[in-house]
């Protein structure tokens, strides 16, 4: 009898409960804190908050960079021949790279799911040295997931290579290694319009993408259509060991369009980069425009992990099929090797969806009985953008490219005081070997003399960079 009475009362209460009249309020979920265990530093738990509104989960991050460049004192252009990118801003800035700090990137957006198989995300970005207040779309895409397959379409970063797949939240240095970044930019990168089909299981991933131009970038040398592929395999070898192997490639179907007034339309491809710190965005290696029919990038990946030790390396070959009668099809090579040791014993997490390593989460965060996680890293990076560069004091060989050879030896100290806060300190020793690209076809690549130095003179340099990044993500 008592059971019947209780059951009837419960049913009556259910039928009388009014339906909710308003949408679900913004949820702010934080790790629970026991009142008896509260300490003054527990206020740092506000950094671990999650933000949700109904089916939407909000994400974002702030990334602030600063750098100091240590190089020889600037001299007059008649005797100081160091130069930067051809026809890009002021090439003489390469003699006096500017110290400073700026909002490298700020992103905010949301993601969600609909049913069991559909997911979507939209992210908007502020930041950059040119106009920190300008907003742009970083990601906007939708995907259909039915294991083991995923189809993704929109504007996003398609799978290009291991360093390219590593989230900017998890990179070991402030910027990606030059070779991997250039390979990523040919047919991928943030905001690239495309469609990707991906198959993923516990040990391997295969992805094929058809990509177009960047959503909000009208650079003349940006490819308009490319095929991008990546295949990886990861194996847990013995206890606490992980090995990763992979190959990747990009084939540019349609290079960038460029048609100066009164001239025949050309299809250029261009490779240029800063020395892996973007506080001063002057590129020190630069091929200039290469009139191209097609471009190919082929890469190989390797990574290994044992407990709190991590190693990663990639090598790339870049080939350009020229358009027209110019002799020789240029090719370039680059690679990097990097690794880290986490002093506090944590390990980098392997993200199986991206097939890349992610940052460690501290076992004892600051304010919860510890000082967070500490990581020491190194990197050796080489990018050679020379092709038939010739000898000093003379013009390049016919069809030659004097883009320069850049070597960077770097060290990093990373501190993760909380799971979503990161501080990075980088030291880079940079060496650039590059001959003046001036020649018969382009006698004044840097402008009228004395901006353009003598034929075949050394325009590279050696410098050191100290850089710091503060980052918070949610």
Give 264-279 pLDDT, tens digit per residue: 566 789 999 999 999 9
Q: Is 292 a domain residue? A: yes
Band (pLDDT 50/70/90 cuts) for residue 169 is: confident
Q: How far apart are CA 282 and CA 279, in angstroms?
A: 9
Give 309-348 pLDDT, tens digit per residue: 999 999 999 999 988 766 789 999 999 999 999 999 999 9
189 φ/ψ sector (left φ>0, alpha ψ -120 to 50, else beta): left
Q: Is 4 a domain residue? A: no
Give the domain CATH number at 114: 2.40.160.10
Band (pLDDT 50/70/90 cuts) for residue 430 is: very high
Residue 12 has pLDDT above 90, yes or no: no
What are the distances in angstroms from CA 230 to CA 139, 163, 180, 182, 457? 20, 12, 13, 16, 40
Band (pLDDT 50/70/90 cuts) for residue 56 is: confident
Give 62-77 pLDDT, tens digit per residue: 899 999 999 999 999 9
What are the distances in angstroms from CA 234 to CA 162, 243, 261, 340, 370? 12, 6, 52, 19, 33
Q: Which residues pair with 70 in a beta bridge?
A: 464
Q: Which residues pair with 205 in a beta bridge?
A: 200, 232
Q: Is 5 a domain residue? A: no
Give 107-154 pLDDT, tens digit per residue: 889 899 898 999 999 998 876 655 555 678 889 999 999 999 999 999
Q: Is 417 a domain residue? A: yes
Q: How far apart are CA 310 and CA 205, in angstroms?
A: 21
**Segments forming the whole domain that contains residue 199:** 21-473
How many domains would you assign to the chain? Answer: 1
- Six-digit token string for 231: 């295949």
Helix (H, G, I), strand (E, B), or coil: what is residue 5? helix
Residue 18 has pLDDT above 90, yes or no: no
Q: Is 12 a domain residue? A: no
Q: Is 16 a domain residue? A: no
Q: Is 11 a domain residue? A: no
Residue 93 has pLDDT above 90, yes or no: yes
Give me the pLDDT at residue 260, please.
Answer: 56
Q: Is 305 a domain residue? A: yes
């Amino acid at each position: 009898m008592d059971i019947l009475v209780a059951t009837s009362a419960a049913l009556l209460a259910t039928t009388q409960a009014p339906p909710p009249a308003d949408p679900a309020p913004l949820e702010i979920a934080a790790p629970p804190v026991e009142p008896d265990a509260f300490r003054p530093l527990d206020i740092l738990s506000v950094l671990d908050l999650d933000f949700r509104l109904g089916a939407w989960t909000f994400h974002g991050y702030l990334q602030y960079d600063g750098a100091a460049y240590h190089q020889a004192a600037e001299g007059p252009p008649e005797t100081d021949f160091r130069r930067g990118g051809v026809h890009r801003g002021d090439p003489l800035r390469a003699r006096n790279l500017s110290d400073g700090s700026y909002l490298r990137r700020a992103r905010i957006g949301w993601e969600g799911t609909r049913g069991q198989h559909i997911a979507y995300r939209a992210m908007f970005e502020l930041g950059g040295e040119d106009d920190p207040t300008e907003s742009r779309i970083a990601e906007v895409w939708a995907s259909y997931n039915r294991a083991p397959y995923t189809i993704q379409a929109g504007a996003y970063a398609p799978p290009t290579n291991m360093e390219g797949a590593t989230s900017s939240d998890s990179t070991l240095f402030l910027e990606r290694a030059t070779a991997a970044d250039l390979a990523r930019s040919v047919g991928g990168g943030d905001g690239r319009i495309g469609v990707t089909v991906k198959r993923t299981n516990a040990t391997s991933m295969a992805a094929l993408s058809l990509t177009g131009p960047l959503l909000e970038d009208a650079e003349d040398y940006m490819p308009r259509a490319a095929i991008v592929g990546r295949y990886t395999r990861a194996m847990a070898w013995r206890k606490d060991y992980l090995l990763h192997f992979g190959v990747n490639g990009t084939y540019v179907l349609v290079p960038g369009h460029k048609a100066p007034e009164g001239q025949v339309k050309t299809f250029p491809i261009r490779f240029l980069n800063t020395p892996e710190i973007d506080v001063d965005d002057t590129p020190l290696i630069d091929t200039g425009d290469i009139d191209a029919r097609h471009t190919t990038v082929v890469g190989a990946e390797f990574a290994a992990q044992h407990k709190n030790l991590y190693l990663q390396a990639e090598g790339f070959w870049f080939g350009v099929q020229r358009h027209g009668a110019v002799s020789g099809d240029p090719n370039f090579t680059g690679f990097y090797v990097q690794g880290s040791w986490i002093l506090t014993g944590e390990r980098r997490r392997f993200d199986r969806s991206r097939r890349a390593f992610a940052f460690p989460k501290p076992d004892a965060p600051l304010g919860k009985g510890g000082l967070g996680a500490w990581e020491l890293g190194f990197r050796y990076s080489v990018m050679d953008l020379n092709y038939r560069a010739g000898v000093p004091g003379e013009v390049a060989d016919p069809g030659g490219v004097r883009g320069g050879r850049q070597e960077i030896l770097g060290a990093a100290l990373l501190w993760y005081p909380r799971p979503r806060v990161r501080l990075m300190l980088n030291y880079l020793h940079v060496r650039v070997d590059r001959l003046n690209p001036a020649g018969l076809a382009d006698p004044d690549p840097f402008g009228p003399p004395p901006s353009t130095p003598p034929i075949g003179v050394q325009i590279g340099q050696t410098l050191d960079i100290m850089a710091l990044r503060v980052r918070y993500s949610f």
